[in-house]
Structure 1
Amino acid sequence: MKSLFEAEAHKEILNRINKLKKNTKPQWGKMSVNQMVKHCHGPIEVAMGTKKLDANLGFMKKLIFKLFKSSLYNDRPWKEGIPTAPEYVVRDEPEFKVEKENLKTLVNEFHALNNKTDWVAHPLFGKLSSEQWGKAQYKHLDHHLKQFGV
């Protein structure tokens, strides 16, 4: 899996984001392109410690999440339409141009953290290394950019 910390992967993601237009239609799912670009902010903000998720899970759910931890960053693509955490659901229709620029800013800020070692724990999956965070961010963005055909 590529990592958002890799220069080529970072450049690729930004180029793909730039190809999105406000009338780009999804190939699957219910999100509009406006909602998708804003949705993609959430996981980056969680990794950077600026967004909190409700991690009030019981022991069994936490154990189950840890069993699927590698799905965040392994080479197997996610299925179309997989569920998302409620905190990542975008219900309004945000301004496309603003949210697209905000996403590019977040991608750049995250990429600049490539030497960071003291990451916050993921609220559902626990401690992740820099390598795991970089791959997880790339995988999430890649999933949604494919959803919108770029």
Structure 2
Amino acid sequence: MKSLFDAEAFSEIKNRIENLAEASPRQWGKMTHGQMLHHCQGPFNIMLEKVDYGMKPNWLAKVFFKKSLYSDKLWRKNLPTAKFLREKEHRNFNDEKAQLMRILDEFESQKDRTEWTPHPGFGYFTRDQWGRMQYKHLDHHLRQFGV
């Protein structure tokens, strides 16, 4: 799996987000384009300690799901979304796209960090695992909208 800490993968993701349009056809799922863009900010908000979603440690998630967050195996379509990251409100496409690009730039500005605060639900991730997880999540949702 590519890592968002890799300059080439980072550039690829930013280009794919730039190519996302409101008219891009949804391939699966229920989220609108704006909701998906807002949803994709959540894992960065956790990593960058910007938002406390009230997550609690979950040993079942650590044992059965954690490795799938950064493994090479793609996630299947229509996976259920974590309750705290579900989007129900209307989200403005252009505003959310701009905000996701800003948060990506903030993430990139911290690429040389070697230690990150443990994830509130899954615990410790290495730098490589964080980078792979962030890439995998964005890739999944960009494929959801055909980019």
1:56 and 2:56 correspond = yes
1:75 and 2:72 correspond = yes
Unaligned runs of 5+ in 1: none
Aligned residues: 146
Off by >6 Å, runs of 4+ in structure 1: none
- Counterpart of 1:65 (choices 40, 58, 61) is 61
2:46 matched residue in structure 1:
46
Q: TM-score, normalised by structure 1?
A: 0.92
Mapped partners of 2:5, 2:50: distance in 1? 19
Mapped partners of 1:112, 1:24: distance in 2? 29
**SS of the residue 1:31 aligns to:** coil
- Give matches, 1:14-29, under 5 Å: 14-29=14-29
Q: TM-score, normalised by structure 2?
A: 0.94
1:112 matched residue in structure 2:
109
Mapped partners of 1:75, 1:112: distance in 2? 25
Of the structure 1 ranges 135-144 and 16-25, higher mean CA displacement relative to structure 2 is found in 16-25
Give the fraction of aligned pairs with identical amino acids, expressed as a percent: 44
Unaligned runs of 5+ in 2: none
1:84 and 2:116 correspond = no
Letter paired with 1:49: E
Mapped partners of 1:89, 1:25: distance in 2? 20
Deviations 1:79-128 (A, max 9, x none): 11111222211111111111101101111211221111231211211011
